[in-house]
Chain A
């Protein structure tokens, strides 16, 4: 098992390096291939009224005239050891881990990114709890009551949840519960500041986000449960006289949950990279809104930073799932 984990860790690091190379190429190689000169690239970092001397200084400061592999090497070095951008006596320091420096905000990217993580984490974690429990519960119920009105109603609602985009359900929820009935005012409050208000203010985004995912999970659980409950060992369990609750939860659900947990890990990893639509709809300052803002400002260092961080979350989630899966099913380790 330890060998397996070490192997996965190495693979994860390699994957992250590949992701960083691709990301770097997208932002620095592709514009060159499209005809952008280092001068053009530098012009976008020097404010709204660029002066030629200032653009040349930025060109030198970012080393845009150097070969790409040198620029990439410096980028990697910055992540480990920090980076100093200088033009003559003017210096800007970006401490490690330096994922770049936002010239628009005049701040290193890393602290800007990390300041948004609590919101995204709160949103993703709360919604994940809701969708996992509600999705699985609805799925189990539907599978057990197959063909009944409950099943049809549940699956109909699930279809609705999958079909309706978050910016629609979110806007409706906001209009009704916030602006019309004044029940919830969606504004992020830190969990350490006021846990109750933290939860109350996030209820609407949680439910909106969970509505989509629980619909997916309900359908997956239902399908898994229907398959599992028809297995021979379930029949055997029942023949042995085990209580129905034990048959369903210990033997049926446990087997059906394995693929659900795999998907759950990946979904959570994806969301930690930013629930873009939910954060935008509810104006929550997480990584998703940060990404939209960075794209709107064409703030390339920020965009690059968020891509790398999101990749990190996904790759790590993938690794955790692999390890858990290996623990559950030893055949994976072979």
Chain B
């Protein structure tokens, strides 16, 4: 699950190429470019299982929740970004191939990655000729611009990222629905000099802009489609397709049916494929049934991609045949605890928490080494570009906690007998409550008393842990969290967690309130570094500085146990989305 935002990108001073910009696109489609392999445990982590170009069949996907929106300009979950590629085509996307290869940017609707000018303030993209909408109309750059304009209509479409509002020169543009006749195509910072060229004018240099347009929000939309029964908030019920499939029917939050888009071509969308005749998505199915449906072949895919529950896990791992049809990768998500630097202002007190935490019981809280994750010692997980392994607080070498080091830190902190503080956690996120209890028990052994305060996820960031005023007034020194990157480099993972300018009054993700001049400066320097080889060296430095400040207590690099239905073809784990790549799946 992705959840991050960008608020006030302070003084990003660089331009130019991205660390991954040199990675070209694949023209293979379908099974991608990774190695192929037969079915075995973890086979889809590094290779393609059941590669096939066989066409036809109905695939059923089950989803245990309801999506924030099926509107590609209004969604902010990893599984939905993976899923919407079935009916949308953004300017850029990620290469369709297994393993680290899938972290590379690739052209989708655009003919290539963006060209930067004016020190990184202007980004130009050229789009492919003869890409069609589902109604047969040709996609133009004006349609891409209109799609971007929709992301400004936050009253109707509040759920997507806000990168365009922050980065473009006219952040107060109200969106195309307000005073429509006057403002349609009124976003002045995006220009379309001809039907195949689109130019973004940023208010500051931003080297990672290619990653921004790889988010589904850059999908083209015809203004004429976005009206009446199809328009505005109702667009989610029948979003206009440029991808391999289109909506046949959708009962909101219940069932969605996709069928082939007759105007889609492989040449126009090289990273996706159109191997299925129909896709049915059943929403709000309880997770136990989702798991059982997959095993019984009533459904072929768990759309959420967060892995099976304990009952199915035991069944899979104890059966050699089922185990051979499963994968257990690290999915790029970090489970951790924020340690608020204002509430616990003394570094040594925070370091005492880092040392005293029992990583083994915390790992167990999330389900153990298979479905919980691998014990973490850094903020960035191994799947992020720029990851470097280090272990400042002996998390891996002493996973049960280092009480003597913790007590030593408490003495330095001036509180040799410990201290008391409150801890926030999400009551409805699996594992968080158990993790809170495990941390409470571990810290108690050195005299640090945590009082637990549980909140629902829906209000956790908007009203409680994500509200610095609330955190200060309620003495919340520790807060459990989870994090995934919007794009797979250090900036994409770390900025919102650790940059001082990312601290906001509500919806704050920098709950630890990290505002270190050195870290802020490193973010700026990294963004200004046009050399991909040196840009990547900043991320481990920032990671180390955050850990040295003891503001984040990493718990686990999340792992998931995914059941890979044997009837699926072209299956592989996509390191970017942290689940299977849905855009290329077929059926035997």
**Residues of B contacting A89 in the complex (Cβ-Cβ under 8 angstroms):** 178-179
For window 285-317 of B, CB contacts with A under 8 Å fall at 285-286, 288-289, 292-293, 295-296, 298
Do the beta carbons of B458 and A44 come within 8 Å of each other?
Answer: yes
Number of interface residues of B (CB under 8 A): 54
CB distance from A152 to the nearest CB of B (A): 35
Do A49 and B507 touch (CB < 8 A)? yes
Complex Cα spacing A37 to B80, Å: 33
Bound complex: CA A299 to CA B288 (Å): 24
Q: Does A258 have its Cβ within 8 Å of any Cβ on chain B?
A: no
Find out whether the CB atom of A51 lies under 8 angstroms from the CB atom of B154.
yes
**B51 located at the interface, meaning its Cβ lies under 8 Å from any Cβ of chain A in the complex:** no
The distance in angstroms between the C-alpha atoms of A6 and B149, with both chains bound, is 56
> Could you tell me the distance between the alpha carbons of A191 and B523 in the complex, rounded to whole angstroms?
60
Whether A43 contacts B507 by the Cβ 8 Å rule is yes
CA distance A185 to B293 in the complex (A): 10
A91-135 contacts to B (CB < 8 Å) = 92, 103-107, 112, 115
| Complex-state Cα separation, A40 to B428, whole angstroms | 20
Binding stretch for chain B, among A212-220, A277-285, A316-324: A277-285
* Interface SS majority for chain B: loop
Residues from chain B with Cβ under 8 Å of A289 in the complex: 284
Q: Is the CB of B459 within 8 A of A285?
A: no
Interface contact A48-B505, CB-CB below 8 Å: no
Q: Given A89-B179, A185-B298, do A46 and B154 touch, yes or no (CB 8 Å)?
A: yes
Asked whether A90 is an interface residue with its Cβ less than 8 Å from the other chain, the reply is yes
Q: How far is the CA of A47 from the CA of B165 in the complex (A)?
A: 15
Task: Assign chain A's interface to a size class.
Answer: 35 or more
In the complex, which residue of chain B has the Cβ closest to the Cβ of A101? B233
Known A43-B507, A285-B284: A49·B5 in contact at CB below 8 Å: yes
Q: Are B162 and A51 within 8 A (Cβ)?
A: yes
Q: Does A293 belong to the interface (CB within 8 Å)? A: yes
Q: How far is the CB of A101 from chain B (nearest CB, A)?
A: 10
Q: How far is the CB of A113 from chain B (nearest CB, A)?
A: 12
Closest residue on chain A to residue B64 by CB atoms: A283
Q: Does B177 contact A (CB under 8 A)?
A: yes
Stretch of B85-93, B118-126, B215-223, B460-468 that contacts chain A: B460-468
| B158 partner, pick from A36, A39, A46, A171, beta carbons under 8 A | A46
Name the one of B3, B252, B458 contacting A105, with C-beta atoms under 8 angstroms.
Answer: B252
CB < 8 Å: which of A39, A107, A112 contacts B233? A107
Closest residue on chain B to residue A297 by CB atoms: B458
Binary per-residue interface labels of chain B (363-393) against chain A in the complex, 1 for a CB within 8 Å, 0 otherwise: 0000000000000000000000000000000
Contact A40 B292 (CB under 8 A): no
CA distance A103 to B458 in the complex (A): 13
**Cβ of B158: which chain A residues have Cβ within 8 Å of it?**
46-50, 54, 103
B296 touches A44 (CB 8 A): no
Smallest Cβ-Cβ distance to B233: which chain A residue: A106
Asked, given contacts A48-B3, A51-B154, whether A283 binds B282 with beta carbons under 8 Å apart, the answer is yes
Q: Which of B431-445 contact A (CB under 8 A)?
A: none
- Contact status B286-A281, CB under 8 Å: yes
- Between B68, B253, B296, B456, the greatest number of chain A beta carbons within 10 A of the residue's beta carbon is seen for B253
- From B3, B155, B456, contact of A57 by CB (8 A): B155
Q: Which residues of A contact B165 (CB under 8 A)?
A: 51
**Cβ contacts B53-93/A at 8 Å (1 or 0 each):** 00000000000011011000000100000000000000000
Asked if A106 meets B154 with Cβ closer than 8 Å, knowing A43-B462, A285-B254, the reply is no
Contact B292 A174, beta carbon cutoff 8 Å = yes
Once A47-B159, A179-B296 are accepted as A-B contacts, the answer to whether A90 and B288 lie under 8 Å apart by CB is no
Is B236 positioned at the interface, with any CB of A under 8 Å from its CB? Answer: yes
Whether B292 pairs with A50 at a CB distance below 8 angstroms is: no
The CA-CA distance from A46 to B162 in the complex, in Å, is 12
| Contact call A49/B162, Cβ cutoff below 8 A | yes
Minimum CB–CB distance for A28 against chain B, Å:
15
For A30-68 the 0/1 string (1 means CB < 8 A from B) is 000000100110011011111110110100010000000
Q: Mark A279-304, 1 if CB is under 8 A from B, else 0.
A: 01111010001000100111100000
A residues 189-240 with Cβ under 8 Å of B?
none
The minimal Cβ–Cβ distance linking B283 to chain A, given in whole angstroms, is 8
Is there contact, CB below 8 Å, between B284 and A293? yes
Q: Does A87 contact B (CB under 8 A)?
A: yes
Assuming the contacts A54-B158, A185-B298, A298-B456, asked whether A48 and B461 have C-beta atoms less than 8 A apart, the reply is yes
Contacts of B296 in A (CB 8 A): 178-179, 182
Is B461 a contact of A52 with CB atoms below 8 Å? Answer: no
For the complex, is B500 an interface residue (Cβ under 8 Å from A)?
A: no
Chain B's nearest CB lies how many Å from the CB of A75? Answer: 20
Q: Is the beta-carbon distance between A90 and B284 smaller than 8 angstroms? A: no
Contact yes or no, A283 B458, CB < 8 A:
no
- Interface code A149-192, partner B: CB below 8 Å = 1, 0 otherwise? 00000000000000000000001001100110010010100000
> B516 in the interface, Cβ–Cβ < 8 Å?
no
* B161 interfacial by beta-carbon distance below 8 Å: yes
* Separation of A185 and B178 alpha carbons in the complex (Å): 47
- CB pair B68 A106 closer than 8 Å: no
Let me know if A50 and B253 touch, CB within 8 A: no
Check if B506 is an interface residue, CB within 8 A of chain A. Answer: yes
Contact of B467 (CB < 8 Å), options: A40, A61, A175, A283: A40
Nearest opposing residue in chain B for A185, CB measure? B298
Contacts of A281 in B (CB 8 A): 286
Q: Does B156 contact A (CB under 8 A)?
A: yes
Chain B, residues 1-39, CB within 8 Å of chain A (1/0): the string is 001010100000000000000000000000000000000
Assess whether B224 is interfacial by the CB under 8 Å rule.
no
Separation of A115 and B282 alpha carbons in the complex (Å): 16
Confirm or deny: B251 has a beta carbon within 8 angstroms of a beta carbon on chain A: yes
Contact in complex: B178, A50 (CB < 8 Å):
no
Complex interface: chain B residues within 8 A of A174 (CB):
289, 292
Chain B, residue nearest A296 (CB): B428
Cα distance, A217 to B222, chains bound together (Å): 60
Shortest distance between the CB of B472 and any CB in chain A (Å): 14
Contact A52 B505 (CB under 8 A): yes
Q: Smallest Cβ distance from A42 to chain B, in angstroms? A: 9
Flag if A55 contacts B506 (CB, 8 Å). Answer: yes
- 1/0 per residue, CB under 8 A from A, across B493-520: the answer is 0000000000011110000000000000
Contact A36 B288 (CB under 8 A): no
* B179 x A298 contact (CB < 8 A): no
Tell me whether B284 and A283 are in contact (CB under 8 A): yes
Query: Nearest CB to that of B283 among chain A residues?
Result: A285
Point out the residue from A103, A112, A179, A280 that lies within 8 Å of B252, measured CB to CB.
A112
Per-residue A-contact encoding for B555-570, CB less than 8 Å = 1, 0 else: 0000000000000000
Q: Is the CB of B156 within 8 A of A106?
A: yes
Instruction: Report the nearest A residue to B251, measured CB to CB.
Output: A115
Cα-based distance from A297 to B66 in the complex (angstroms) = 9
Do B155 and A87 touch across chains, with their CB atoms under 8 A apart? Answer: yes
Chain B residues with CB under 8 A of A104: 68
A89 to B181, CA, bound (A): 12
Asked whether, in the complex, the Cβ of B463 is within 8 Å of the Cβ of A36, the reply is: yes
B177 contacts across to A, CB distance below 8 A: 90
Contact A50 B284 (CB under 8 A): no
State A105–B132 Cα separation when bound (angstroms).
29
CA distance A50 to B3 in the complex (A): 12
A-B contacts, 16 of them at CB < 8 A, read A40-B467, A46-B154, A49-B159, A51-B162, A52-B505, A61-B155, A112-B252, A175-B292, A178-B296, A185-B298, A283-B285, A285-B253, A285-B254, A293-B253, A296-B457, A298-B456
Q: A40-B506, A179-B296 are in contact. List 15 more A-B contacts (CB 8 A).
A: A47-B154, A47-B158, A47-B160, A49-B159, A51-B162, A54-B158, A88-B178, A90-B177, A92-B155, A106-B233, A171-B288, A179-B295, A185-B298, A283-B284, A298-B459
